Amino acid sequence: MAYVSLYTSYSVKIPQIQIMKNKILSVQNIGIENLGTLGELIHSDGYQVENVEAQKEHMPPNPEQYAAIIILGGPMAVYDKLEYLEREQELIRQALKMETPIMGICLGSQLIAQAIGGNVYKGQKKEIGWSNVMINQAGCKDLFMGSKTNNIRVFQWHRDTYDLPSNTAILASSDLYPQAFRFGSAIGIQFHVEIDDKMIRMWAEEYKQELKQEGIEMTELLGQREHEMKNLFGTCKLMYSNFSKQIKNKWMYH
């Protein structure tokens, strides 16, 4: 007996869900200022990191190929009008148009500030070492969502600061300067959450003349470091978690 199939093969169109972009661009302005502990969190989250040394390598022309961009620190100044810093600002402007998530740390935040029409300049006093930063109401709903305290202990190494456009949301401040802000898809952070003990030692050696001029001893940077490092890494994890949500919200179904 011949059997006839009761099933007919149909071509069914299944909506394509775009696979989330899995590469994050890290823009490094000097060798000793890298992703640090932030890099560990990025890798553990399943992302690959493409690192560009801004002084030596070409800036990628298309930010759309990256899930996010992180621009790191360095001792140079935005107002020095260095060509590679100008290229970074152009990358920031392109990324903002595409709503690509961007995080700028220290110099990176100053580059974002300048790129969005702010003004970067020398502040009245350097902030170097451990200090307190106050998270405001806007920050509690954004980058610092989930923080158990409004007063966080962070590591600083900068003098330059900025005035920001009126449509920028300040997220945190110290007694002297704005410390974190949001403008569209970009977040600027003036302080360092990515450092570890090794990195502090490297910076202290590299910038020892600056420490001498400021009358700062190495012990001040490393004092009670175990407790402070643990808390700082906790802040780094919290901030990265909130930034990661922004990345996923942008690309998961985009």
Amino acid at 183: F
pLDDT tens for each residue of 182-196: 999 999 999 999 999
Say what the pLDDT of residue 61 is.
83
Residue range 23-251 forms a domain whose CATH class is alpha beta
d(CA 237, CA 42): 10
Q: For residue 209, what pLDDT band results from cuts at 50, 70 and 90?
A: very high
Say what the pLDDT of residue 218 is.
83
pLDDT tens for each residue of 19-31: 458 999 999 999 9
The pTM score is 0.90
Q: Which residues share a beta bridge with 48?
A: 23
pLDDT tens for each residue of 139-170: 999 999 999 999 999 999 999 999 999 999 99
DSSP β-ladder status, 23-28 and 68-71: parallel
d(CA 145, CA 242): 7
Q: Which residues contact 67 (CB under 8 A, 6 or more apart)?
A: 20, 21, 22, 23, 24, 47, 101, 247, 250, 251
Say what the pLDDT of residue 4 is.
42
Q: Which residues share a beta bridge with 172?
A: 135, 180
13 DSSP 8-state letter = P
Residue 75 clears pLDDT 50, i.e. is over it: yes
Catalytic positions, written as ranges: 106, 192, 194
In 3-state terms the chain splits into helix, strand, coil percentages (rounded to 5) of: 35, 25, 40
d(CA 154, CA 195): 10
Residue 224 clears pLDDT 90, i.e. is over it: no
